[in-house]
Each structure stands twice: as structure tokens, then as C-alpha cells.
Structure 1
Amino acid sequence: MNGMEKYTVGGWWKRWLSFVAGIVILMAGSSCNKDFPNTLQKEFKNDTLGVTPKKAKVLYLILDGVRGKALKALEAPNLTQIYKKSIYAFDGLSDYDGTGITNAGAWANMLTGVTRSKHGVVTEDFAGNKFNQYPTLFSRIKQESKGKTRTVAISASTTFSVNLAADATEIKTLEGNDLGVKDGVINELKNPDATVVVGQFHSAEAAGQQSGYSDMTPSYANAIFKLDTYVGEIVNALSQRKTFADENWLVVIASNKGGMMPPEPGSTDKTIYADASRNSFVVFYNPRYTTSFIPKPDSDKIPFTGIGPRLAGSDAAAGNATMGNDGGLYNIGANGDYTFELKVKINSGASNYPTIVGKRQSFTSGVVGWVFFLEGDVWQLNLGRVGGGNTQRNGGKIRDGLWHTLTAKFYKDGSSRRAKIFTDGVLQGAPLDITAFGNQDSPAPLTLGYTAGSGGTIDVLYSDVQMYNVAIPDEVITAYARKTTVEPSHPYYNNLIGYWPLNEGTGTLMKNKAPLGQGKDFSMKGNAVWSNFNDFSPFIDAPISNAFFQIVPNGVDIPYQIYQWMGIPTPASLGLEGKLWKTTFNDVKLPY
């Protein structure tokens, strides 16, 4: 860096692998120091506007298990030259729909142009696939051309050819033999009728499964360099076609998936961009393309955005939100199990004893009920009882300008009753024995914000308030603490007696969206106002739409790109989920 080479073990190993790969490629006759193909400028007839009719054709190479970030780190020489005339990305995603990733599911994305929610492939045996409704590339081309377009599938995996390539004009399966696949693709490119050629390689995936998917792992890195050699030979063979100058080839080179890796040290990325098993690469190459690298968006600090109630004030002028008559639904009694959770951002300076939320007539000793309150920079759960003192548990520092999730659960433990509190899903201290505090029913309404007699001042933003009539297990509290909404998929959704998203943004009513809490709404009072927010917090997984994961080329884009290249109609009935990636042409001259 900065003109100085760092002689680390990793750097030495990568340079050695690159050197070895270069020797192998030179021996194979590839031309690593030249752009592909080297005949372009000599044989390509200049097309001023880039519209001269040429026969559209496609070469599609699938390199299973090649992590995009590993490929970038290794700087494979042939692909590095190809990037110069490509649209390419190292942070593509095999899948952003669902959990878990399989070779079969990733292949299905790359061949149908839809994700698992449509094609139905979630296991390696392709069980339950819906290819009759969402056809593969081979099936669609066969249907549209009435079988007149030659399509060839040459694969190193029987499951690929059997399940995805049945409608290809010709199928060649060479189980576990990437060398044979490479030779088969080159032989097909010698055929004047070659139009759509698909080659599927599996050696990098096999090496990754056996030894790991790190670019520092010799067997995995060597497998990628070998594939790079094959790619160089194949693209050179393509350029040597006698009819090449009269053809318009789109070359697609992509991995189906990555592989499991430990998180990168220091990474704060909580999105699926950080999931190494989904990390793929995509290259769209044409000798007329100018280079276009597509980076991933900044996924390390995604802000939590929205609108919520801002409740500020003190005893003299409080802003809060209170519940009307709840029929006792939110009393926690003497024996019941309950879980209460909310998200807050503290805007005010240090202050002692103002309440954040509670169900208690006043925050004074000897008054029954519970509250969350602030003491300096920390929050605490406090419970009171008639004729006695209070008991409380410290939840840790939250007055730091960040959003936090605060949780309390009340539960029976044999003959005892206890309470636990969590900050951002992390248990704080030992369980609090509240047996002696008896019945915690209070005639006071459930209240967000300042409670009379608290002391100090508050200025708090609120979001995502939840209450359940069950003591949710610790591990579930931890797993869901970062989420900003409650979906029906939540394992305790049917126990939800109160769910207030607090996102109305207008008026004074904050609606209860819980199935068991209809009509139990909060009303804003006093100094309460609606306030927009746009804040990053390391403790929150801000909601992200699929559009965020479509900023880079993904496997699901490839069929749509191919259809557009070949002029094949893409009716809405296909349900394609991919997008078209465009670049400029390097030989186009404007007529002025």
C-alpha cells in the first residue's frame, strides 16, 4: 500500500498462487496480459450507433461455490482481464429470500429468474419445485423458438442436468469432471450452430466443502485459479470462431453461492451482505462493453428511520401517552406470566427518577405497580408494594443517543415469582425475586412517558411497544430484540395482547395492532408530539426492503438479462424478479 508491499503470510501466499496460476495459464496457451478477445479491433466492423444486426448468442459459465470476496482477493488473472469489458460485482447474492442456501436453490434462481418463494426449491433434491409454472432458461427458449434455437448444457453435477436442463437441445453430464466440462464447452463453441452454451463447474464448491471457503485455503484457492484457467481457454476459443465478427455474444460468468465463513473481524454489517454463504459474483462480458463495477451499498450503518411519539417534560408539564379503560388486560397480578418490551431513544441530559413507562399511580414508596425509570445514564425496573419499600434491578446505560430495546418479563418459578430484565436482548443481572411484592394490579392506566411524582425530566422517542401474556424464553427475547416490527411469524404472536408500532405520525391516537388487544389504544397528552427519526444504532436491525439487495447484480437477474439480450419476450406471467443491467459500448461513436 502507498508504494510499499507488505510481506505478510497472506500476501506471500496469494502472490505465490498467482505466480503458479500464471505459469499454468501460459503453458495452456492463454493470453493473460491481453484483453479478451484479442481479435476484436481487427475483426469487428465499426458500428457507429451500435445497432448493426448481429446474431445474439450466450455463453453462460456457472462456477459453483466461488465466493465473490475470495475471487476479488485472489485477483485471478484471466477474469481480471475480462472485467475490463464487463458489468461485474463481487458482492452479489445467491438468495435474499428465506433462510439457508443450497446449490439446488441457487441454481434454480440462476436458471428461472425467480427466487425460492416462487420456484419452490429449498432442498438439494429439488422436491416441490414449480418449474412447470416458472420455467427454466432452457424450457423458455425451447418454447419461444419452437425448438429451433440450439441450447447445450454441459455440467459437472448430475442433479443440475437432470432437474434444470431437461429441455436443452443437448445435455452432457460429466460428474465431478470440471476439465471435461471445459473441453465440452470448447468443443461446442466449434459448432457453427452454437447459440446458448451453459457450462456448470463444481470443483471449487467441492474444495470449499472439504477444506473451507477462505481464499487463504490452498485447495480452495487452487480450485479457483484452475477455473480461471478454464475460463481463459473458453473465452479464447469463443473469439476464434470463424463467425465471431458477425455474432453478438453475451458471456455470463457467475457463482451459484459462496460458503460458510466466520464473520469478518470488526464488521458491524448485520445484513445478508455479510453472509459468506450467499456471497456470489456476477460478470456480464461483451467485447464491446466498457467496464462497469457495481459495488454493494453501505450495509454497515443502515439507519432506523420512521416517526414516533416524542414525550418530554417533568412534573410541572409532562408529555405522555395513556391507556383508557383496559379492563384489567395489562395488570400483571400476583401469579401471571407476562413480557413487556419497547424501544426508546433518550434525548435528554442526565436526570434522576423520571419514568419511561409503567402501570402505577405514582412513583413513590408504598404504591403498587411497576415502572421503567431513568437514574442518571442507566435505566431500572422498579416495583412497589403497599406499606413497604420498592425493589428494583439495574438495566445498564442507555442515555447515549442511541436506540435501545428494553424488556422485562414476570414469571412463576415454582412457589416464587421473579422478574428478569434485558437490554438489547442481553440479560441484566440475576433474576429479581418479587414474591413478597404480591399482587401488582394497579388502577392506574398503562402509561408511556412521565408518571406523577417521578422527579427529574425526560425527553424520549418511542417505538415498537409490545406486551405478551406469557414469559417469553430468554433465547427468543435475545433473537428478536433487534427487530423493529412484530410479524405473525413471531413464535409468540398468538400471546400478543398489546402491540403499538407508534408510527401513525398524526393525531393523538396510537392504535393497538395486537389480535387480542383491539381497541386498547394510547392517547397522546400534554407536551407529546410526533417526531421523525433517522438514526443508526448498533443495537437495531433497521428494516430493509428487497430493493436494498438488488443494488448489485444477483443470480436471479441472469435469466432476464439473457432474455433481453436474445430478444425473447418476458411476459408478466413469468413473474421474473430480476433486473436489467446496462452499460455503454466502447465502439459507439456519436454522430456529432
Structure 2
Amino acid sequence: MNTVFNRLTAFAIVAVSFLHTAAAQDPIAQTPRNRVLIIGIDGTRRDALQRAQTPNLDALIQRGQLWENTQILGPRETQNDTVSGPGWTSFLTGVWADKHGIQDNGFKGNNIKNYPHLFARVRAQYTDAQLGSFVDWKPIDKYIVSEADKRVCHESHGAEAYTANDQRLTDEATEYIRSSDPHAVMVYLGAVDETGHAHGFHPSVPHYIRAIETVDGHVGSLIKAMKSRRRYEEENWLVLLSTDHGGQGTGHGGGRNIPEIRQTWLIVSGDAVINKDKQQPTYLVDLSVTALTHLGVKIDPQWGLDGKPVGIKSN
């Protein structure tokens, strides 16, 4: 009798152990294993970025890669203007304007429902993912952002307001990163663009360079918060930074054929970065697809995404 009992007990222990192991290895995860921090710095020319003193951005490049050939327009004709509406929509959705429908800053005729914010793609696969969006250009929050658990928008007008709200957003985003458990965070900072409109988009403009250097400080605060997380070493964070356009004079509209406006930059940083090919062509739409890929989201060809993962392994 004892022998039979012992055998049944042993079988039950093995069965429970097997079920526990199977559950732990269940491929249908509720949250991503990896994490992403996305920082968008509006209206930042690549040559001005090189001129400015940016120790925090430089440190990210050392742990990853800088591409200086990133195009804000795609290889096919899309007709959109070189302004923030189509730029940030392409940045956040991974498709060009002929798909998402945003041609200017009016956002009329948008097709965001069919080509949503990258957070919607994350949520569809990972129901319990924690997602945070922090912006101070209101149209991003009004028209593009979706599925954010933490959604902060400080509407701004003019360089001084953007400068103040960039700091405010940075403070709120750093607190969110430190004290919550986010899997993807998007932070938009608008003061560089507004400074360009006020004083000029050029590396010879002191106000414009100082604005970039101020934003570099915000980047440093966000990275410090990320690295202060108790499980940071286990979380495999990828940091992505880019911009929506450059500039010339005090504007950037109508710049489809102006290199200083349409050719920008992209930084991909973290332990996951493996591609060191600086010649690889990159596009604005690549950023969101890179983020999705790092998070383990399975890219469905039916989504019609135009971007590709840059600097990391594809799924």
C-alpha cells in the first residue's frame, strides 16, 4: 500500500512540476520580455547635432549606432509636405503618408484607424504591456496616440513654452520610468523645432545649438531613470532617437528637394544592436518597426508596414 501511495505521490509531484514548467514557457506571453525607450526631438538638423555638445547622445551612439542618412520621405511618391504632421505619423506608425493619409499639419483625411500608432500593435499581442506617451505637440496626442496606459500632453505655443514643457515632460517621464513598470515609452520634445522657427535652423545659430544641448540634458535624465530601475540589467532596453525633419532658414515646409530638410539621422542604442553598417539606407518609418521587432511583436505582412528593423535582428 505504501509503495502504491509513494508512486502516486511521486507522479503527482512530477505532473505539477511539468505543468509549472510548461506555463513558464508558454509562448502566449502577456507582456514583452524586452523594453523600448523612444525619444523624438522635433526639427533637429544632423549637422547641427554634430556641432552641439551632446555627451548623452554621444554615449548612446557608443553603445549602438548613428545613421546620418535617414530620409523623411520614402522611395515612392507620397505628395506629403515636409512638416510635423506627416513626419510624426510616419515615425509612429511605420508607414508613409499615402497609407496613413496625413499630408500636412491639418490631419484631414487620416487613415490612422487602419495604420495605427505602434502602441496598438504592441497591445494586440501583449494585452498587459505598460505603455507611456509624453508629448508637448498636441496633434500627436489628439490624432495619433492610442493604447497608452500613461498619456501626458502639455499643449505648447512658442519656443519659451516648449522649452518649459520639454522640462516638465522629462520630469514626468523620468518618474514614470523609475516608479512604474513600462515596456514602451515614447517622449516627444518640441523646443528645438520652435527655436529653429524663431532663430533659424542652422549649426551657426547659437540659440538653435543651445536648444539641442538642452534637449541632450533631457535625454540624459531619461537614460539615468531607465538605468536606475532595479531590474534594468535583466530588461534589455533599446533606446531609439530620431527627428521628423531638418530645416533651412526659419522653416522646413516645401523641402522635398532640400537635403538639409529631408535627410536626417537615427540613433539605435543598447545591447541588442548588432548592425554596424553605416551605409545601410534608413528611413523615418524604420523606427517604429525596429521598436516592434525588439519587443517581440510578430509583424504581419497584412499590416502593410513600410519600415524595417534597423541595427537589430529581425523576428
Match of 2:177 in 1: 189
Alignment counterpart, residue 124 of structure 1, candidates 84, 89, 105: 105
% identical aligned pairs: 22
Asked whether 1:92 is paired with 2:80, we answer: no
For structure 1, the residue ranges without an aligned partner over 5 or more in a row are: 1-53, 263-270, 296-550, 585-592
User: Could you say what secondary structure the match of 1:190 adopts?
Assistant: helix
Alignment counterpart, residue 141 of structure 1, candidates 122, 138, 149: 122
Task: Tell me the alpha carbon deviations over residues 409-461 of structure 1, each in whole angstroms, 9 at most, x when there is no partner.
Answer: xxxxxxxxxxxxxxxxxxxxxxxxxxxxxxxxxxxxxxxxxxxxxxxxxxxxx
Distance 1:163 1:272 in 2: 24
Which has the larger Rg?
1
Alignment counterpart, residue 35 of structure 2, candidates 32, 49, 57: 57
Distance 2:198 2:210 in 1: 13
Distance 2:227 2:73 in 1: 33
Match of 1:103 in 2: 84
Alignment counterpart, residue 268 of structure 2, candidates 284, 300, 305: 284
- How far the C-alpha of 1:292 sits from its partner, in A, is 2.9
Q: CA RMSD in A?
A: 2.2
- Give the TM-score normalised by the residue count of structure 1: 0.43
- How far the C-alpha of 1:288 sits from its partner, in A, is 5.6
Distance 2:213 2:277 in 1: 21
Distance 1:281 1:108 in 2: 17
- How far the C-alpha of 1:65 sits from its partner, in A, is 0.5
- Give the TM-score normalised by the residue count of structure 2: 0.79
Report 1:132-171 matches (<5 A).
Answer: 132-146=113-127, 148-171=128-151
**How many pairs were matched up?**
267
- How far the C-alpha of 1:240 sits from its partner, in A, is 1.1
Q: 2:275–2:311: 8 Å Cα contact kept in structure 1? A: no
Distance 2:311 2:215 in 1: 26
Q: 1:102–1:124: 8 Å Cα contact kept in structure 2? A: yes
**1:84 maps to amino acid:** Q
- How far the C-alpha of 1:235 sits from its partner, in A, is 0.8
- How far the C-alpha of 1:145 sits from its partner, in A, is 2.2
Residue 125 to residue 233, structure 1, CA distance change in 2 (3 Å):
same
- How far the C-alpha of 1:554 sits from its partner, in A, is 2.0
Q: 2:274–2:311: 8 Å Cα contact kept in structure 1? A: no
Task: Tell me the alpha carbon deviations over residues 523-580 of structure 1, each in whole angstroms, 9 at most, x when there is no partner.
Answer: xxxxxxxxxxxxxxxxxxxxxxxxxxxx422220011111111111111111011122
**1:246 maps to amino acid:** E
- How far the C-alpha of 1:181 sits from its partner, in A, is 1.2
- How far the C-alpha of 1:287 sits from its partner, in A, is 4.0
Alignment counterpart, residue 80 of structure 1, candidates 52, 58, 66: 58
User: Could you say what secondary structure the match of 2:261 adopts?
Assistant: coil
User: Could you say what secondary structure the match of 2:60 adopts?
Assistant: helix
Match of 1:237 in 2: 225
Distance 1:187 1:554 in 2: 31
Distance 2:117 2:211 in 1: 28
- How far the C-alpha of 1:67 sits from its partner, in A, is 1.1
Distance 2:86 2:190 in 1: 15
Alignment counterpart, residue 227 of structure 1, candidates 212, 215, 228: 215
Distance 1:162 1:293 in 2: 37
User: Could you say what secondary structure the match of 2:248 adopts?
Assistant: coil
Which is worse superposed, 75-84 or 120-129? 75-84
Distance 2:257 2:238 in 1: 27
Q: 1:68–1:91: 8 Å Cα contact kept in structure 2? A: no
Report 1:24-35 matches (<5 A).
Answer: none
Residue 293 to residue 202, structure 1, CA distance change in 2 (3 Å):
farther
- How far the C-alpha of 1:90 sits from its partner, in A, is 2.1
**2:242 maps to amino acid:** A
Alignment counterpart, residue 554 of structure 1, candidates 283, 303, 308: 283
Task: Tell me the alpha carbon deviations over residues 483-506 of structure 1, each in whole angstroms, 9 at most, x when there is no partner.
Answer: xxxxxxxxxxxxxxxxxxxxxxxx
- How far the C-alpha of 1:72 sits from its partner, in A, is 1.9
- How far the C-alpha of 1:279 sits from its partner, in A, is 2.7
Match of 1:364 in 2: none
Match of 2:296 in 1: 567
- How far the C-alpha of 1:583 sits from its partner, in A, is 5.4
Q: 2:39–2:188: 8 Å Cα contact kept in structure 1? A: yes
Report 1:296-307 matches (<5 A).
Answer: none
For structure 2, the residue ranges without an aligned partner over 5 or more in a row are: 1-31, 156-161
- How far the C-alpha of 1:192 sits from its partner, in A, is 4.1
Asked whether 1:218 is paired with 2:202, we answer: no
Residue 239 to residue 282, structure 1, CA distance change in 2 (3 Å):
same
Distance 1:71 1:276 in 2: 12
- How far the C-alpha of 1:201 sits from its partner, in A, is 0.4
**1:213 maps to amino acid:** F
Q: 1:294–1:553: 8 Å Cα contact kept in structure 2? A: no
Q: 1:88–1:293: 8 Å Cα contact kept in structure 2? A: no
User: Could you say what secondary structure the match of 1:55 adopts?
Assistant: coil
